[in-house]
């Protein structure tokens, strides 16, 4: 069987599962097994595959049919133009989270500080922490997670991107492991309401529950984080956290109650859905 025939067969198999990206996924799985880039794949469409490679591709396709997320199968996910290692121990970074990174970078430029201290709460794979460290050269980042296995993946990712010395990893609950001053606090916390968890796609449910479950109203951790932050932030600090599309009003209310003198803005993602809250504490709290 040659590459072209294999792509055809595997995309047909994946299509049966209802995947809208079956063709693309077939390519990704084939390239992952052959360890080749896209250009090489197109160049070699008529090349024959070894039996071992055909078997290996079939076994990955089978895992995908069982609804294992593509990124867990390949072990890699792109986020903010960088490649991140992922495994079952971490949430797969989502494109909508790039809004937090983009906003934090813009705000960091306005801070006019020689050194910017950033804290990423619930770092998971370290996608936010690494993207910020790479793009804000005068930053030091503390990345926190309650999950030891997440911190192991974050450790791999900070090393791969040459950020070992600029990102400190800490195990613990929210801001508890931080005593340092914070200029920018970012967080993509678990925010799915408990009663919505069961309706998530089968694939999403293969991700860690600790990364998804936001308690009864989805905002419990955010409220706790903001209360902790209130004790620790100075007057020039910025807080940015991700929310679900239906949490804008409530999250903004909690933010205003916790920081009555802060400027609170709900940010929209590319689909025009509420996706993040920005609190600017430019007056004394």
Ligand X SMILES: C[S@@+](CC[C@H](N)C(=O)[O-])C[C@H]1O[C@@H](n2cnc3c(N)ncnc32)[C@H](O)[C@@H]1O
- Rule CB under 6 A: which residues touch ligand X? 90-91, 93, 97, 121-125, 127-128, 144-147, 150, 173-174, 188-190, 210-211, 221
Between 210 and 266, CB nearer to ligand X: 210
- We find the least distance from the C-beta atom of residue 90 to ligand X, in angstroms, to be 6
Between 5 and 250, CB nearer to ligand X: 250
> What is the 3 state secondary structure string of the chain?
CEHHHHHHHHHHHHHHCCCCCHHHHHHHHHHHHHCCCHHHHHHCCCCECCHHHHHHHHHHHHHHHCCCCHHHHHCEEEECCEEEECCCCCCCCCHHHHHHHHHHHHHHHHCCCCCEEEEEECCCCCHHHHHHHHHCCCEEEEEEECCHHHHHHHHHHHHHCCCCCCEEEEECCCCCCCCCCEEEEEECCCCECHHHHCCCCCCHHHCCHHHHECCCCCCHHHHHHHHHHHHHEEEEEEEEEECCCCCHHHHHHHHHHHCCCCEEEEEECCCCCEEEEEEECCCCC
Query: Which of 138, 174, 132 has the alpha carbon at shortest distance from 157?
Result: 132
Between 159 and 220, CB nearer to ligand X: 220
Between 7 and 143, CB nearer to ligand X: 143
- We find the least distance from the C-beta atom of residue 126 to ligand X, in angstroms, to be 8
Between 190 and 218, CB nearer to ligand X: 190
User: How far is 111 from 107, CA to CA, in rounded Å?
Assistant: 7
- We find the least distance from the C-beta atom of residue 144 to ligand X, in angstroms, to be 5
Between 191 and 259, CB nearer to ligand X: 191
- We find the least distance from the C-beta atom of residue 68 to ligand X, in angstroms, to be 18
- We find the least distance from the C-beta atom of residue 96 to ligand X, in angstroms, to be 9
Between 97 and 255, CB nearer to ligand X: 97
- We find the least distance from the C-beta atom of residue 234 to ligand X, in angstroms, to be 22
- We find the least distance from the C-beta atom of residue 264 to ligand X, in angstroms, to be 21
């Amino acid at each position: 069987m040659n590459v072209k025939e294999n792509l055809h067969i595997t995309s047909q198999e994946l299509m049966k599962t209802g995947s809208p990206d079956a063709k693309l996924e077939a390519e990704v799985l084939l390239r992952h097994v052959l360890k080749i880039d896209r250009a090489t794949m197109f160049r070699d469409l008529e090349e024959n595959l070894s039996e071992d490679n055909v078997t290996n591709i079939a076994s990955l396709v089978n895992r995908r049919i069982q609804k294992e997320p593509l990124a867990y199968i390949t072990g890699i996910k792109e986020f903010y133009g960088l490649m991140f290692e992922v495994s079952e121990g971490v949430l797969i970074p989502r494109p909508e989270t790039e809004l937090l990174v983009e906003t934090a970078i813009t705000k960091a430029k306005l801070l006019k500080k020689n050194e910017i201290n950033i804290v990423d709460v619930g770092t998971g794979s370290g996608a936010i922490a690494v993207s910020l460290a790479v793009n804000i050269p005068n930053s030091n980042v503390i990345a926190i997670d309650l999950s030891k296995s997440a911190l192991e993946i974050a450790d791999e990712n900070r090393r791969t991107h040459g950020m070992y010395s600029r990102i400190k990893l800490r195990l613990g609950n929210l801001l508890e492991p931080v005593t340092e001053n914070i200029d920018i606090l970012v967080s993509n916390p678990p925010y799915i309401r408990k009663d919505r968890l069961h309706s998530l796609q089968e694939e999403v449910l293969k991700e860690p529950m600790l990364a998804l479950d936001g308690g009864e109203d989805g905002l419990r951790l955010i409220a706790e984080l903001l209360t902790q932050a209130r004790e620790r932030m100075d007057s020039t600090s910025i807080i940015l956290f991700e929310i679900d599309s239906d949490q804008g009003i409530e999250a903004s209310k909690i933010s205003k109650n916790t920081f009555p003198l802060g400027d609170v803005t709900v940010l929209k993602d590319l689909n025009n859905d509420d996706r993040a809250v920005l609190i600017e504490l430019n007056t004394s709290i």
